[in-house]
Amino acid sequence: MGSGSTHDHVAYAPLPTENVIVLPVYYQPDLRRWRRRRNLSRCLCTAAAIASLLAVLVFIFYPSDPYLQLARIHLNHIRVNSSPQPTLDLSFSLVVKVHNRDFFSLNYDSLDVSIGYRGRELGSVRSHGGRVRARGSSYVNASLKLNGLEVIHDVIYLIEDLIKGVIPFDTVTMVKGELGVLFFEIPLKAKVSCEVYVNTSNQTIVRQDCYPEG
């Protein structure tokens, strides 16, 4: 046998490519950015809550005009004079309710009540001023006497109303005052109009329809 060198060949198999596992990459969170976002969210929620609270407070404490109501009207006297010319004698007693809807006291200078017939004013009366506590009411008495009113222009309508037994009158009540809010005085006013139907036989109020005016 001849002598010779022997070479051992080692074969390397290629790596498999089918079952490759890829590990996810984990990032460390930015705590400072997360805290900034959290603080921003808290600030926005706080601002929204404060804005809502302010809106509610403005809605509650915003000044509003007083509420007027003709609580009672009584015809004390009515007489139609035919000679020497048609005239009218009237006497009314009124009670007006002034309701303060605000959370501050209301001071009013005066309360005016006027009486009219078919759109024409017959006369008016003014009462003294007063004070209405917060969320409270005050009742104001007023008396109106009208003697010798000329009704020449409305004599035909007046005769018709007398035959029917009911005379319609118009009343307008107005109050002006100031609302004391801390160191400020806010002017307020209210006005209410009523149609009052008076029975001429027993001199009582048959019906009254009232509505506030702006």
CA distance 102 to 26: 63
CA distance 210 to 207: 10
Q: Chain centroid to CA 118: how far?
A: 31
Q: Which CATH architecture has domain 67-213?
A: Sandwich (2.60)
Q: Does the pTM exceed 0.95?
A: no
CA distance 204 to 197: 9
Q: What is the 3-state secondary structure (H, E, C) of the chain?
A: CCCCCCCCCCCCCCCCCCCCCCCCCCCCCCHHHHHHHHHHHHHHHHHHHHHHHHHHHHHHHCCCCCEEEEEEEEEEEEEEECCCCCEEEEEEEEEEEEECCCCCCEEEEEEEEEEEECCEEEEEEEECCEEECCCCEEEEEEEEEEEEEECCCCHHHHHHHHHHCEEEEEEEEEEEEEEEECCEEEEEEEEEEEEEEEECCCCEEEEEEEEEEC
CA distance 198 to 164: 11
CA distance 99 to 103: 12
Mean pLDDT, to the nearest integer, of 12-38? 61
Tens digit of each residue's pLDDT (9 = 90 or more) over 32-91:
776 777 777 777 777 777 777 665 555 455 668 888 888 887 878 878 787 777 787 888
Tens digit of each residue's pLDDT (9 = 90 or more) over 82-98:
777 778 788 888 888 99
